[in-house]
Chains A and B, each alone.
Chain A
Amino acid sequence: MSKPLPIRDGDKIRCDACPVMCFIKPGATGACDRYMNDAGDLVRIDPHVILDRAVDRGEPLVHFLDRVEDWDGDPVKAGSRFVTAIGAGTTYPDYKPAPFIVSSQIDGVDMVTVVTEGIFSYCGVKVKIDTDRHLGPERSPVRAKGEMIGHVTTGEYGSQMLSLGGVNHLTGHGKKQGKVTCDAILDLCNGKPVELTVDDGATVLVQAGKPPVVNGVLEERMRVGCGSATIGMFAQQWFGKVDEVVVIDDHITGVLSEHQAGKVLGVKETGLSMTGRRSTPGRYFEVAEPGTGWGGTAIEDPLSILGLFDPKVAWPGLSMLMISTTGEQHGYYELDADLKPVARDLPAALAESVERVKENCEPALSTVLFMGGAGGSLRAGVTENPVRLTRSVKDALTYVTCGGAPVYVWPGGGITFMVDVTRVPSNAFGYVPTPALVAPIEFTMRLEDYAALGGHLSYLRSLDQVLAGEGGRKLPQLDGNPWPLSPSDSKRSHG
């Protein structure tokens, strides 16, 4: 669609959508909150919150979806619409039927989707931060605005893990901690950046789907593997081009000449000696304190982890590459006549392998999974016999989604699920002051299964009825999410 170019004043745009004619700065919206200067483009934005919350307590069905925008084109799968729970509202604490119970036909089967927003007192987020940098000891408190909102939990591959929120931080340690916890996990779920500090550790800026910023430094890459694995992967490429390679890593530092991969190729011994504790040949633990230097250690000068070269084995001119597991730091050295390493320019033949290490590092991201448990009253909004809903979910007759996004339902009791917040439409999460998070949740099942579990059949409305008069905000299906009404059609990576 071609539009006339808007009038500009520097980086400001003059909006001509109405006679107010706002000048709008980049990143800002006009007086109407409908038009935005998006990096120089005047774009219409979708207001994402429902302001009109006058609840008529007398009606069993509550319409909260009044703020509708025209959507140019309809990227929603033709003939198929799924009503998400975002903005559906919730009837807590009155155990009324859920705000929307929608039926639609799919593949000839009458499907029922029960759409509600759950109030989750039992909820939190699991945060995976792709970095080898030491964020703080495991079990250390993680704080937002000075309040403890969670802790560092056990590390995973190439990542540091945080466990934040949960019922105890939300409701068990006073109002202030509860509010700060609620705000922080709400912002994380809605894709906003949150600054977290770890006791005896780092300050990290976390935003779902974005690279983490550790102590003010943007983390760009995830390591290719531990130091030992890196030796294994690249030994062939280094062999013959350099005499020794040390891959510095906080967990396992690898040494080519001693490592099995080097031995197999016939790499000569170099007489190198290392600090740290030798695990198996060519693999060293604890070469330095953890930190934010080379490979997640505190090392700024890589030579600091080397002892003297054994004069009986080493020779002047011996060449050595030292590199971190992300390739971001590297140095090339040659031994002088006294067998002391001297820094030299990286030979072109090795530059290629350094680039290869970098290339094989995936972009580092912070990822956020919302985890919540759907308990009694929320289930009662779906059916008159709540436990049957749980059984139905476990029996895979009922498919659970969160804002249309696939979830992983934890085995065992209750309906405790996890969802990648980046797969949920923007600003889908809200809060209540108790404090607790409000998250959309939809239960989709066959109509006959819904009847069998004691569903509120008298409150069923057809999809056409819900869509009539555009009573909602239409969104395109997010890329990669399976279609909730026929999830088995799509490749499912979750649940």
Chain B
Amino acid sequence: MREPPHIRLLACGRRVHLQDGPIDLILEAWGSPAAVRAAHRAAASRMNGLLDELCEELAILRAPVGALSPVPQGTVARRMWDAVRPYADECFITPMAAVAGAVAEAVLAAMVAAAPLDRAYVNNGGDIALHLARGERFTTGLIDRPDQPSMIGTAIVEAGDRVRGIATSGRHGRSFSLGIADAVTILAGGAADADAAATIVANAIDLPRHPGIVRVPADSLAPDSDLGSRLVTRDVPPLSDGDRDQALRAGLDRAAGLIAAGRIAAASLHLQGVTRTIGALVQTHQETQPVRRMHHA
């Protein structure tokens, strides 16, 4: 039975939870009380029908993007397609790689259009679209494994940075990964761009010939996965320091290329307890947890 979207204000009185099928948004806005209320209403009304519209074009959105592939018509679907198009000539990618970011952007756009806001964010399961008026900033916490959450770093985004999207991808999230990264967080111009790039960089962190890595066809897990029978990562054994660094290097190379090409601003790569960052804006906590402070419980 089709469940209607869930829309509610959380206990803190500031954050709104919107959920419809796999779309799961937490959003918050800053501004005058009237503006915040208008933004909440706009977000809720934008959610109405958004998932249904995407699902009408689901077949196109699940197909790899190439020169001859059909272009979807819906606004959000088209944004997904545009976000992945730069990668289509380089590797396999479908518009689904940008779905979470594109949805976050669409809801944020509706909020910003409805009222003047100082700040706002829409967080779609870790893929975040940001609005920052002049002089404003956001501090975002990074976690490596959603199944065992722990904060590994922070990203500070200021209005002048031109970063308006943060996305995280890895093998512990809701979608499958072709790579072995625990988490890759990308800061980019838009949430959809960050989402697509996070997928690409997470896929690049890999050890293709490592015998201990367990991979299975995506469609053996989720029969209608857009990844079809491509092998997705199910388990990664503890890696030697050399192997881990080699995999991270491959990801850093890919991220460096994306920064040079102006597609992203910064990346934070996390694999088996080690975090590497490239570009500005991301700080990791690893060095800020000195050993002497450990005996605390």
Could you tell me which A residues sit within 8 Å of B by CB distance?
Answer: 3-4, 9, 12, 16-25, 28, 30-33, 49-55, 57, 63, 65-66, 68, 92-93, 118-123, 145-147, 167, 171, 175-176, 179-180, 186, 372-378, 430-434, 436, 438, 466, 468-471
Could you tell me which B residues sit within 8 Å of A by CB distance?
Answer: 1-3, 8-13, 15, 17, 20-22, 24, 26, 51-52, 55, 58, 123, 125-126, 139-141, 143-144, 146-152, 174, 220-224, 237-238, 272-273, 286, 289, 291, 293-297
List chain B residues, Cβ under 8 A from A53: 141, 143, 149, 151
Pick from A9, A16, A25, A68: contact of B222, CB below 8 A: A25
Q: Are B24 and A468 in contact (CB under 8 A)?
A: no
List chain B residues, Cβ under 8 A from A9: 223
Alpha-carbon distance between A79 and B3 when the two chains are bound, in angstroms: 29
CB-nearest residue of chain A to B221: A28
Max chain A Cβ within 10 angstroms of own Cβ: one of B55, B144, B148, B151: B148
Q: Are A32 and B297 in contact (CB under 8 A)?
A: no
How far, in Å, is B21 (CB) from chain A's closest CB? Answer: 3
Q: Are B146 and A49 in contact (CB under 8 A)?
A: yes
Q: Are B174 and A33 in contact (CB under 8 A)?
A: yes
Alpha-carbon distance between A330 and B293 when the two chains are bound, in angstroms: 58
List chain A residues, Cβ under 8 A from B8: 469-470
Given known pairs A19-B52, A431-B150, the reply for A118 and B11 (CB within 8 Å) is no
Q: Are B147 and A32 in contact (CB under 8 A)?
A: no
CB-nearest residue of chain A to B53: A19
Q: Are B17 and A30 in contact (CB under 8 A)?
A: no
List chain A residues, Cβ under 8 A from B55: 18-21
Pick from A167, A377, A469: contact of B10, CB below 8 A: A469
Q: Which 10 A-B pairs give the minimum distances between C-beta atoms?
A: A18-B21, A471-B11, A469-B11, A19-B55, A32-B22, A120-B297, A31-B22, A23-B223, A118-B297, A377-B296
Q: Are B150 and A51 in contact (CB under 8 A)?
A: no
Alpha-carbon distance between A57 and B17 when the two chains are bound, in angstroms: 21
Q: Are B223 and A466 in contact (CB under 8 A)?
A: no
Max chain B Cβ within 10 angstroms of own Cβ: one of A145, A146, A176, A471: A176
List chain A residues, Cβ under 8 A from B147: 49
Q: Are B26 and A119 in contact (CB under 8 A)?
A: no
List chain A residues, Cβ under 8 A from B238: 145-147, 176, 179-180
Q: Are A119 and B11 in contact (CB under 8 A)?
A: no
CB-nearest residue of chain A to B289: A434
Alpha-carbon distance between A65 and B20 when the two chains are bound, in angstroms: 19
Pick from A17, A54, A372: contact of B3, CB below 8 A: A17
Q: Are A186 and B1 in contact (CB under 8 A)?
A: no
CB-nearest residue of chain B to A175: B273
Alpha-carbon distance between A374 and B296 when the two chains are bound, in angstroms: 8
How far, in Å, is A413 (CB) from chain B's closest CB? Answer: 15
Pick from B9, B12, B20, B273: contact of A18, CB below 8 A: B20
Pick from A63, A176, A376: contact of B11, CB below 8 A: A63
Q: Are A23 and B140 in contact (CB under 8 A)?
A: no
Q: Are A17 and B294 in contact (CB under 8 A)?
A: no
Alpha-carbon distance between A52 and B3 when the two chains are bound, in angstroms: 23
Q: Is the interface of B mostly helix, strand, loop or mixed?
A: loop
Q: Are A54 and B221 in contact (CB under 8 A)?
A: no
Q: Are B141 and A51 in contact (CB under 8 A)?
A: no
Given known pairs A53-B149, A66-B17, A145-B238, the reply for A471 and B10 (CB within 8 Å) is yes
List chain A residues, Cβ under 8 A from B17: 66, 68
Alpha-carbon distance between A31 and B19 when the two chains are bound, in angstroms: 13
Q: Is the interface of A mostly helix, strand, loop or mixed?
A: loop
CB-nearest residue of chain B to A437: B297
List chain B residues, Cβ under 8 A from A375: 295-297
Q: List 10 A-B contacts (CB under 8 A).
A: A20-B21, A33-B22, A65-B11, A66-B17, A121-B297, A180-B238, A430-B148, A433-B286, A436-B297, A466-B11
Given known pairs A18-B2, A22-B222, A52-B26, the reply for A145 and B141 (CB within 8 Å) is no
Q: Are A433 and B273 in contact (CB under 8 A)?
A: yes
Alpha-carbon distance between A176 and B297 when the two chains are bound, in angstroms: 22
How far, in Å, is A344 (CB) from chain B's closest CB? Answer: 50
CB-nearest residue of chain B to A44: B3
Q: Are A122 and B21 in contact (CB under 8 A)?
A: no
List chain A residues, Cβ under 8 A from B20: 18
Alpha-carbon distance between A410 and B245 when the two chains are bound, in angstroms: 44
Alpha-carbon distance between A3 and B1 when the two chains are bound, in angstroms: 9
List chain B residues, Cβ under 8 A from A93: 293, 296
How far, in Å, is B236 (CB) from chain A's closest CB? Answer: 11
Alpha-carbon distance between A430 and B151 when the two chains are bound, in angstroms: 12
Max chain A Cβ within 10 angstroms of own Cβ: one of B2, B21, B139, B296: B296
How far, in Å, is B127 (CB) from chain A's closest CB? Answer: 11
Alpha-carbon distance between A20 and B61 when the two chains are bound, in angstroms: 12
Pick from B126, B149, B152, B297: contact of A374, CB below 8 A: B297
Q: Are B24 and A32 in contact (CB under 8 A)?
A: yes
Q: Are A55 and B141 in contact (CB under 8 A)?
A: yes
List chain B residues, Cβ under 8 A from A92: 296
Q: Are A121 and B2 in contact (CB under 8 A)?
A: no
How far, in Å, is B121 (CB) from chain A's closest CB? Answer: 8
List chain A residues, Cβ under 8 A from B222: 22-25, 28, 30-31
List chain B residues, Cβ under 8 A from A175: 273
Q: Are A145 and B237 in contact (CB under 8 A)?
A: yes
How far, in Å, is B291 (CB) from chain A's closest CB? Answer: 8
Pick from B15, B22, B272: contact of A179, CB below 8 A: B272
How far, in Å, is A296 (CB) from chain B's closest CB? Answer: 32
Q: Are B9 and A469 in contact (CB under 8 A)?
A: yes
Given contacts A25-B221, A49-B149, A146-B238, list 13 more A-B pairs with CB under 8 A. Answer: A16-B1, A18-B3, A20-B51, A22-B222, A23-B224, A33-B174, A51-B149, A54-B139, A119-B297, A375-B297, A378-B296, A469-B11, A470-B8
Alpha-carbon distance between A92 and B288 when the two chains are bound, in angstroms: 13
Given known pairs A12-B223, A53-B143, A66-B10, the reply for A433 and B149 (CB within 8 Å) is no
Alpha-carbon distance between A470 and B144 when the two chains are bound, in angstroms: 27
List chain A residues, Cβ under 8 A from B291: 171, 434
Q: Are B297 and A373 in contact (CB under 8 A)?
A: yes
CB-nearest residue of chain B to A431: B148
List chain B residues, Cβ under 8 A from A24: 222
Given known pairs A175-B273, A433-B286, the reply for A51 and B146 (CB within 8 Å) is yes
Q: Are A17 and B1 in contact (CB under 8 A)?
A: yes
List chain B residues, Cβ under 8 A from A376: 296
Alpha-carbon distance between A119 and B273 when the two chains are bound, in angstroms: 18
Q: Are B273 and A19 in contact (CB under 8 A)?
A: no
How far, in Å, is B37 (CB) from chain A's closest CB? Answer: 16
Q: Are B174 and A378 in contact (CB under 8 A)?
A: no
Q: Are B2 and A433 in contact (CB under 8 A)?
A: no
Pick from B148, B150, B297: contact of A122, CB below 8 A: B297
Q: Are B150 and A22 in contact (CB under 8 A)?
A: no
Q: Are A432 and B150 in contact (CB under 8 A)?
A: yes
Q: Are A19 and B1 in contact (CB under 8 A)?
A: no
Q: Are B2 and A16 in contact (CB under 8 A)?
A: yes
Pick from A18, A68, A378: contact of B51, CB below 8 A: A18
CB-nearest residue of chain B to A9: B223
CB-nearest residue of chain B to A19: B55
Alpha-carbon distance between A66 and B125 when the two chains are bound, in angstroms: 12
List chain B residues, Cβ under 8 A from A377: 296-297
